[in-house]
Amino acid sequence: MKPRRPYLLRALHEWITDSGETPHIVVDAAAENVTVPRQYVKDGKIVLNVSFSATQMLKLGNDFVSFEARFGGVGFAVLVPVRAILGIYARETGQGMIFPEGDADPDPTDAPPAAPAGGGARTASKRPKLQVVK
């Protein structure tokens, strides 16, 4: 399956924007292929305002987030790989999501259920059945 991070990022950006709040992303500035104004990086991270009013040509793609913005009155083209985005939140409320480190580490809730004890390979390969719960 495709990584879920870009889809969650777009959904949360839309939710924050629709709620009338200001979306910000937290970026690992030390990650490969991150193009951000280095003078604003603190502790290896940078927080970027990704609202439509603060950016031009905002693109929330599957692989990269890109936009143009002004930093200290100077225009800058920002390019951030989605895998370098650590989280997204609303500035006003702090509501949002911190992403798990690395897409290679699957979310424990996505893991297939463990095979029952003593089930063997045949049990693990059975197709699941739907059951009516009353």
Nearest to 46 by CA among 24, 61, 67: 24
Name residue, tokens 């390019």. Answer: 79
Residue-level pLDDT at 73: 95
- Please report the pLDDT score of residue 3 as a whole number: 93
- How far is residue 64's CA from residue 53's CA, in Å, rounded to a whole number? 20
The string of pLDDT tens digits covering residues 113-133 is: 444 444 444 445 566 666 677
pTM: 0.75
Q: Topology of domain 5-97, per CATH?
A: SH3 type barrels. (2.30.30)
Query: Cα-Cα-Cα-Cα dihedral of 102, 65, 8, 16, to 10°?
Result: 130
Residue ranges per structural domain of the chain: 5-97
- Report pLDDT for 10: 98
Residues 6 or more apart whose CB falls under 8 angstroms from that of 18 comprise none
Report the phi/psi class of residue 82: left, alpha or beta, with left for phi > 0 and alpha for psi in -120 to 50: alpha
Residues 6+ away with beta carbon under 8 Å from 27: 34, 36, 45, 46, 47, 48, 80, 84, 85, 86
Query: pLDDT per position in the chain (134 positions), as tens?
Result: 899 999 999 999 999 999 999 999 999 999 999 999 999 999 999 999 999 999 999 999 999 999 999 999 999 999 999 999 999 999 999 999 999 875 544 444 444 444 444 444 444 556 666 667 76
Q: Residue 65: phi, psi to the nearest 5?
A: -110, 130
Cα–Cα distance, 94 to 22 (Å, whole number)? 10
Pair of tokens at residue 12? 């949360």
